[in-house]
């Protein structure tokens, strides 16, 4: 069963912070006033836990909640693949085939609900904020 964007906004997943060893990244979307931060706990190249904080519009917060659910249990490579697929779906990145289902993380599940945001270019940055922040955290986890 898919969860709607509104459900993720009302009942955000993985909200809070991690107490054990983790990497932390923060992001801002000044055009809307959204902020987002993420804690990732990585063991042996796999994301074993995630916690998110932040405030802002429903799109940024719902996107963050969906992202947090999507990356738990994924390897760093799979999380990168998901990020790539998301940015292709939203038209943020080009030059690859968004329908390449062989790519790790090609199946977005609930995240496909955010596809509608493409119709509102000003809101794309809101949906992208958690993913850009995730990329920062993945960079740190790989460092």
Q: Closest approach of Cβ 27 to Zn ion, in Å? A: 12
Q: Does 28 bind Zn ion (CB under 5 A)?
A: no
Q: Closest approach of Cβ 113 to Zn ion, in Å? A: 16
Terminal Cα distance for the chain, rounded: 36
Q: Closest approach of Cβ 125 to Zn ion, in Å? A: 7
Q: Determine the number of helices (DSSP H) and then strands (DSSP E) in the chain.
A: 4, 3
Return the exposure string of 48-69: e unless at least 16 CB atoms fall within 10 Å of the residue's CB, then b.
Answer: ebbbbbbebbebbbbbbbbbbb
Residues 56-75, interacting with Zn ion (CB under 5 A): 56-57, 60
Scanning 19-27, 46-54, 84-92, 125-133 for contacts with Zn ion by CB under 5 A, the matching segment is 125-133
Binding stretches for Zn ion (CB under 5 A): 32, 34, 56-57, 60, 126
């Amino acid at each position: 069963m898919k969860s709607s964007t509104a459900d993720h906004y009302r009942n955000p997943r993985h909200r809070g912070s991690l107490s054990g060893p983790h990497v932390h990244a923060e992001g801002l979307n000044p055009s809307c006033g959204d902020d987002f931060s993420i804690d990732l706990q990585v063991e042996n190249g796999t994301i074993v836990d995630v916690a998110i904080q932040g405030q802002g519009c429903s799109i940024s917060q719902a996107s963050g909640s969906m992202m947090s659910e999507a990356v738990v249990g994924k390897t760093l490579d799979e999380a990168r693949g998901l990020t790539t697929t998301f940015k292709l779906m939203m038209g943020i990145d080009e030059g690859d085939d968004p329908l390449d289902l062989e790519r790790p993380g090609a199946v977005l599940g609930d995240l496909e609900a955010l596809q509608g945001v493409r119709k509102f270019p000003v809101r794309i940055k809101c949906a992208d904020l958690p993913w850009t922040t995730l990329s920062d955290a993945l960079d740190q986890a790989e460092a």
